[in-house]
Amino acid sequence: MTLTTNTSVTQPGGLPEPEQVFAFAEREIRRAGAELWPGAELIPGALVPSVTGYVRLLRVDGRELYAKYSYLGVSLVSLLRGVGGDWALVRWAQRTYTACPEALLTREAAQLRLLAAFGQPKVCAVAGLRRGVLFTEPVTGPTLAALLIARPQEAGDLLEAAYGGLHRLHSPRISRAFDPVGAIGERGIVHTFQRKFNGLSGALYLDLLGIERCAEHERREIVQLMRHVVGRLRRLRAAARTLKPTVLVYGDLKPEHVFFPDGFFPDGLDSEPVFIDPGLLRASGPEADAAKLISRTVLLLAASRPSPSASLRVLDGIAAFIDQRLSPLPRPERSEWLYAFLILWLTDTVNILTTYLSAPAALPLPGQGEALVRQAVTLCGMADRISALLAGATDGTGVTDGTAALDCALDRLLDRVLSEAAAAVAAVAS
């Protein structure tokens, strides 16, 4: 039971208010905690700002847990924009939704349990699921995001360690043996893009970007840039070779979703990474996970604004990571992988930037989201230039002929894309 339109189904006066949405989620978290742990002392902790769902720390007799609540399987941005109807309709529909086996957090809990039983990749533990609330154990240790900023000279090794933690999941044998339990396709890069930018509602969505978060002169520029980017991506996706989804991917691979419990030390990683917030689904190849990881790493740099030398070291690590993916592939596969990867990278960047830009002003954004909105003109300009590079790369050639000339052209394309990313990161840091 998921809703897929971007248009509001109510008059503006009937839209859910953040205070109503948050208070209802708080009550459901307390009720769920009381039912799972009768008589336990429940103490709310810090709110974790999110655009996708309501997340809060909760102490249960001194035991710290994360409590997550999802409305109708849509993001909080979409909910507050009226996708689920007015507040009365949302509450009515939510009662049925949370009891449905297809509810988003029911599927996420099932995926976490499946991965825990499988043993690799390691994931956070499920503490309970009740009334549509998913409780998970926290994971100790630094995230990949924190380590990339703290140890930029090790970026290549860190990215390899995180991605390598999914090696067995990506293998054809595992993909044949396991079906994702309730695949969370709505977290896939392509699915998200198609849902956001479908038809007339997609055009309206673009027209309203930044309306509550940006100055009007910046907003006009952002809208114009993103119209160009989305139009090019639609054409690129239509022209790209479509392969049957055969590989299992993690689906929501972000630097903030990867933890190293024993940290990262000069002599190497002392433990396997632990992952949170899965979105298992089938894709045509593991490049979907690689693309989201690199997309979010570049945006992490733009939001965190480390020193120029630190940013360049992380970007060098990204280049080494991509080269590691390409080097074992035969020439035709190499060209196909790189082109698909670059399109997915840009598509994911567009997805998350537009989500932050369309968020109502009353919705608290994560710190990274606030930072990216402040730099939206620069980042949308980066996306515009990269989309033009990708569109120009296939003019009159195509990407599947496997020629040496095409390989060289794609190598140059990768260099130019990385240069655009570096220029954007440098611009927001200045």
Digit-coded pLDDT (tens) for 350-370? 999 999 999 999 999 999 999
In this structure, of 30-34, 267-271, 380-384, the range with the lowest mean pLDDT score is: 267-271
In this structure, of 113-117, 229-233, 394-398, the range with the lowest mean pLDDT score is: 394-398
Three-state DSSP class for residue 227 = helix
Q: What CA–CA distance (Å, rounded) separates 127 from 105?
A: 13
Q: What CA–CA distance (Å, rounded) separates 376 from 49?
A: 19
Asked whether the bond before 245 is cis by omega within 30 degrees of 0, the reply is: no
- Mean pLDDT of the region 289-311: 97
269, pLDDT greater than 60: no
Q: How many CA atoms lie within 13 A of 27 on its CB side?
A: 6
Q: What is the 3-state secondary structure (H, E, C) of 243-307?
A: CCCCEEECCCCCHHHEECCCCEECCEECCCCEECCCCCEEECCCHHHHHHHHHHHHHHHHHHCCC
The pair of structure tokens assigned to 23 is 């208070």
Q: State residue 4's pLDDT score.
A: 38
Whole-number mean pLDDT of the chain? Answer: 89
In this structure, of 38-47, 191-200, 235-244, 402-411, the range with the lowest mean pLDDT score is: 402-411
What percent of the chain is predicted at pLDDT more than 70? 89
Q: State residue 430's pLDDT score.
A: 83
pTM: 0.92
Q: State residue 1's pLDDT score.
A: 39
316, pLDDT greater than 60: yes
Residue 251 banded pLDDT, cuts 50, 70, 90: very high
Residue 242 banded pLDDT, cuts 50, 70, 90: low
Q: State residue 407's pLDDT score.
A: 62
Averaging pLDDT over each range in 199-203, 227-231, 328-332, which range is the top one? 227-231
- Mean pLDDT of the region 377-382: 98
Domains delineated in the chain? 12-136 (no CATH), 144-429 (3.90.1200)
Q: What CA–CA distance (Å, rounded) separates 255 from 261?
A: 14
Distances (CA, A) of 83 to 13, 15, 194, 294, 367: 14, 9, 16, 30, 25
| Angle 51-253-158 from CA coordinates, rounded to 5° | 125
199, pLDDT greater than 90: no
65, pLDDT greater than 90: yes
Residue 99 banded pLDDT, cuts 50, 70, 90: very high
Whether the CB-CB separation of 56 and 338 falls below 8 Å is answered with no
Residue 321 banded pLDDT, cuts 50, 70, 90: very high
Residue 319 banded pLDDT, cuts 50, 70, 90: very high
Q: State residue 122's pLDDT score.
A: 94
Whether the CB-CB separation of 284 and 237 falls below 8 Å is answered with no
Q: State residue 285's pLDDT score.
A: 86
In this structure, of 53-62, 140-149, 280-289, the range with the lowest mean pLDDT score is: 280-289
Averaging pLDDT over each range in 42-56, 110-124, 188-202, 332-346, which range is the top one? 42-56
Nearest to 333 by CA among 296, 290, 285: 285
- Mean pLDDT of the region 106-132: 94
Q: What CA–CA distance (Å, rounded) separates 161 from 126?
A: 24
Q: State residue 132's pLDDT score.
A: 96
274, pLDDT greater than 80: yes
- Mean pLDDT of the region 152-165: 95
The pair of structure tokens assigned to 39 is 């008589």
Residue 262 banded pLDDT, cuts 50, 70, 90: confident
Lookup result for tokens 């260099």: 415
